């Protein structure tokens, strides 16, 4: 299972395109969801239609059925489809129920981007800008029964990959050092420590004009 914030969806299909194995994304039953589903199909990514407010039970049944084989990967936006932004909902913690299935947190940051006026502050890269993709080590929140602990682990993981991606996009860390820093940050995941990227603005509030 792969988690990412809703405002970073635009270029995420490039992370899977051409890879082996089935990949699916949970997409809401809305007009925006229809457009997103069409784009994902172009990249060979299937969809499971539903959300926390519409078709949630059907989505869960489909996922439970597909994860039995262990051959499918799922992309979810734990703050979608309507927010609040950057807050992990209980559905994500519930889907990460199996202790033997890893969860990955992903983020993308751009050297220059435009933030749209949508509820999530959707990010669109500017022409000729660079994109930096960051993925966490495998996490296993399903080994914890307490939903609130799972939620905290997923949210903290997303925060860490976002920090590293932002640091890369702002040239605050070298690409060859990012993996080591990422591992260190996840070792500190259970401790409330200040970010090593002092002065870096949060990507979710940054807008280039």
What are the sequence ranges of the domains in the chain? 2-205
Burial 155-193 (b: 16+ CB within 10 A, else e): bbbbbbbbbbbbbbbbeebeeeebeebbeebbeebeeee
pLDDT per position as a tens digit, 17-60: 555 557 888 787 777 778 888 888 887 888 887 765 555 567 76
pLDDT per position as a tens digit, 133-179: 999 999 988 878 788 888 889 999 999 999 999 999 999 999 889 98
Q: What value does the CA radius of gyration of the chain take, rounded to a whole number of Å? A: 16
Q: What is the pTM of this model?
A: 0.80
């Amino acid at each position: 299972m792969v988690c990412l914030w809703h405002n970073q969806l635009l270029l995420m299909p490039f992370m899977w395109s051409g890879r082996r194995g089935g990949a699916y994304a949970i997409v809401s039953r809305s007009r925006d969801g229809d457009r997103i589903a069409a784009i994902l199909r172009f990249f060979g990514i299937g969809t499971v239609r539903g959300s926390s407010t519409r078709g949630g039970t059907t989505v869960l049944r489909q996922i439970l059925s597909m994860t039995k084989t262990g051959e499918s990967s799922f992309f979810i936006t734990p703050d979608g489809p309507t927010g609040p932004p950057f807050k992990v909902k209980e559905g994500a913690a519930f889907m990460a129920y199996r202790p033997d299935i890893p969860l990955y947190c992903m983020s993308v940051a751009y050297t220059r981007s435009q933030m749209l006026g949508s509820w999530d502050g959707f990010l669109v890269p500017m022409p000729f800008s660079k994109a930096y993709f960051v993925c966490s080590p495998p996490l296993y929140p399903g080994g914890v029964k307490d939903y609130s602990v799972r939620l905290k682990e997923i949210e903290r993981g997303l925060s860490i990959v976002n920090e590293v991606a932002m640091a890369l996009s702002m040239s605050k860390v070298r690409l060859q050092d990012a993996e080591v820093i990422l591992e260190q940050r996840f070792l500190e995941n259970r401790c409330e420590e200040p970010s090593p990227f002092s002065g870096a603005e949060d990507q979710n509030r940054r807008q280039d004009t």
